[in-house]
């Protein structure tokens, strides 16, 4: 059987990651380093303290530029300096609740940041670029709160500023692809562009505000009850390595078989792993310790979607991408990481071990 993420493909490939200092970006750096890629990054400083980026000393193997994706000239300079073969765009304001407090920042970063990157690629004289993956979100769909998973051809939308900004990022990507990087003219520009929409990504090393797993860990460390918002909200939960393997599988196909891979793609978990928030909390309490408990938060909060699932049939059938770990295994991996962190064990070894385990099980 062929593997999804091909180690031979990534050895020596020059990859530029925007947003490499964040939770997902840090895991992606470690995964690509594991695969032997030549990695450069462009992002703001790590958004949390502690951060996976600093804990795993990622700066030691990534050529990092600390700068804002809204700074067009610096984006252009970085591309011309790195001369990447593959770009994975993850720089974003990634939090729904923060988008209510900072809507302008959210739109400037998530929409104009995407424009800046695509425009920099368009005007650049760098001829090495072959594949660009814009990472958006499952929340880019016009959520009707229905029971069916969303497919790539469903209408885009977004109730809150974050969700709508990511829908806008998708539209910008489509417009640039049609106008300047049209597949019909691929022989002239040779740049294949796709967007990737993942589910609710969870994993060790996330300390962001107003996310479920970091909130659980913070409560445990402070010996407080876990406060649960939106307990019945159903989300497509998946370990962070799942969508990252999807992005890399997509990038491989953009590079080797662009006409097959250009477009929008969902990378979500199996339908059975779309669970309510309360299920995650109960499993976490059960697996961590009998002393951990929770209570339901009855205070009013900004609107968030109640029901959301992704249909990844297209990625499974065309790219051969499939999830590797189920949700219970994912929770086990998360607990393994945070217990190691609390016990001051080597988090780099934990991450590399989990990457090894993941790659050993991924097949087409």
Q: At what angle do helices 327-342 and 347-361 cross, to 10 degrees?
A: 160
User: How confident is the prediction for the chain on average, in pLDDT?
Assistant: 94
Q: What are phi and psi of 330, to 5 degrees?
A: -60, -45
Nearest residue to 357 (alpha-carbon basis) of 206, 258, 245, 260 = 245
Longest dimension (CA), the chain: 63
Buried b (16+ CB within 10 A) or exposed e, 290-319: eebebeeeeeeeeebbebbbbbbebbeeeb
Hey, CA dihedral for 124, 81, 194, 107, is it positive or negative? Answer: negative
pLDDT above 90 covers a percentage of the chain that reads 84
Q: What is the pLDDT of residue 301?
A: 65
Interhelix angle 327-342/212-221, nearest 10 degrees:
40
Dist CA 17 CA 143 (whole Å): 29
pLDDT for res 1: 43
Token pair of 129 as six digits: 């670029």
Q: What is the pLDDT of residue 364?
A: 47
> Does residue 293 register a pLDDT over 90?
no
* Cα–Cα distance measured from residue 83 to residue 77, given in angstroms and rounded to the nearest whole number: 10
- Distance of alpha carbon 244 from alpha carbon 249, whole angstroms: 9
CA distance 336 to 359: 18
Share of the chain above pLDDT 70, in %: 97
- pLDDT value, residue 221: 87
Q: What is the mean pLDDT of residues 11-24?
A: 98
pLDDT 10s digits, 321-350: 999 999 999 999 999 999 999 999 999 999
Question: Which residues touch 77 (CB under 8 Å, ≥6 apart)?
Answer: none
Quote the pLDDT of residue 363.
60
Q: Which residues contact 64 (CB under 8 A, 6 or more apart)?
A: 20, 21, 40, 41, 42, 43, 58
Residue range 146-177, pLDDT digits in tens: 889 999 999 999 999 999 999 999 999 999 99
Contact by Cβ (8 Å): 212, 152: no
For residue 18, pLDDT over 70 is answered with: yes
* Structure-token match 């923060």, residue found: 98
- Which pair of structure tokens corresponds to residue 340? 């190691």
- Give the residue ranges of DSSP H helices in 124-232: 161-179, 186-189, 212-221
Q: Where are the domains of the chain?
A: 7-361
Q: Does the structure show a pLDDT above 60 at 185?
A: yes
Determine the average pLDDT of the residues in 214-231. 89
Measured distance CA(10)–CA(38) in Å, rounded:
9
pLDDT band for position 216 (cuts 50, 70, 90): very high
Half-sphere exposure of 306 (CA within 13 A, CB side): 7
DSSP letters along 16-71, please? EEETTTSHHHHHHHHHHHHHT-EEEEEEPSPSSSS-HHHHTTGGGTSEEEE--TT-
pLDDT of residue 290: 66
Task: List pLDDT tens digits, range 64-75.
Answer: 999 999 999 999
Among candidates 278, 270, 265, which has minimal Cα distance to 309? Answer: 270
Are the C-beta atoms of 226 and 292 separated by less than 8 Å? yes
State pLDDT tens for residues 236-265.
Answer: 999 999 999 999 999 999 999 999 999 999
pLDDT digits (tens, 9 = 90+) for 71-88: 999 999 999 999 999 999
Q: Closest by alpha carbon to 107, among 202, 20, 172, 155?
A: 172
Asked if residues 157 and 218 have their Cβ atoms less than 8 Å apart, the reply is: no
pLDDT at position 105, please? 98
**In terms of Cα–Cα distance, which of 59, 58, 57, 51 is closest to 23?**
51
Distance of alpha carbon 87 from alpha carbon 211, whole angstroms:
27
Domain at 7-361: CATH code = 3.40.50.720
pLDDT higher than threshold 80 for residue 302? no
The two three-digit tokens of residue 110, written as one number: 């998530």
Residue 233 has what pLDDT? 87
């Amino acid at each position: 059987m062929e593997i999804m993420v091909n180690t031979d493909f990534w050895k020596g490939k020059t990859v530029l990651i925007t947003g490499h200092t964040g939770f997902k970006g840090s895991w992606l750096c470690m995964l690509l380093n594991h695969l032997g890629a030549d990695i450069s990054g462009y992002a703001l400083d790590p958004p949390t303290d502690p951060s996976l980026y600093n804990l795993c000393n990622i700066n030691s193997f990534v050529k990092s530029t600390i700068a804002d994706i809204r700074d067009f000239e610096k984006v252009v300079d970085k591309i011309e300096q790195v001369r990447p073969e593959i770009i994975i765009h993850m720089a974003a304001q990634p939090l729904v609740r923060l988008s209510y407090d900072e809507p302008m920042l959210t739109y400037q970063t998530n929409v104009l940041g995407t424009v800046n990157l695509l425009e920099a690629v368009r005007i650049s004289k760098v001829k090495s670029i072959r594949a660009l993956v814009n990472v958006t979100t499952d929340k880019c769909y016009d959520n009707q709160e229905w029971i069916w998973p969303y497919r790539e051809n469903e209408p885009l939308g977004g109730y809150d500023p974050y969700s709508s900004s990511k829908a806008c990022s998708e539209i910008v990507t489509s417009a640039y692809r049609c106008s300047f990087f049209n597949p019909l003219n691929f022989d002239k520009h040779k740049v294949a562009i796709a967007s990737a929409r993942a589910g609710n990504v969870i994993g060790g090393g996330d300390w962001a505000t107003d996310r479920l797993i970091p909130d659980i860990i913070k409560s445990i460390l402070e010996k407080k009850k876990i406060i649960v918002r939106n307990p019945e909200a159903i989300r497509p939960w998946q370990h962070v390595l799942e969508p990252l393997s999807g992005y890399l599988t997509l990038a491989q196909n953009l590079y080797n078989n662009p006409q097959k891979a250009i477009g929008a793609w969902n990378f979500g978990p199996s339908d059975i792993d779309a669970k309510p928030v309360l299920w995650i909390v109960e499993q976490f309490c059960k697996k961590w310790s009998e002393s951990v408990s929770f209570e339901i938060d009855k205070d009013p909060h900004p609107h968030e979607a109640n029901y959301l699932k992704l249909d990844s049939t297209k990625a499974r059938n065309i790219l051969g991408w499939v999830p590797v770990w189920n949700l219970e295994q994912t929770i086990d991996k998360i607990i393994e990481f945070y217990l190691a962190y609390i016990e001051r064990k080597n988090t780099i070894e934990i991450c590399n071990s989990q990457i090894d385990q993941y790659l050993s099980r991924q097949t087409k």
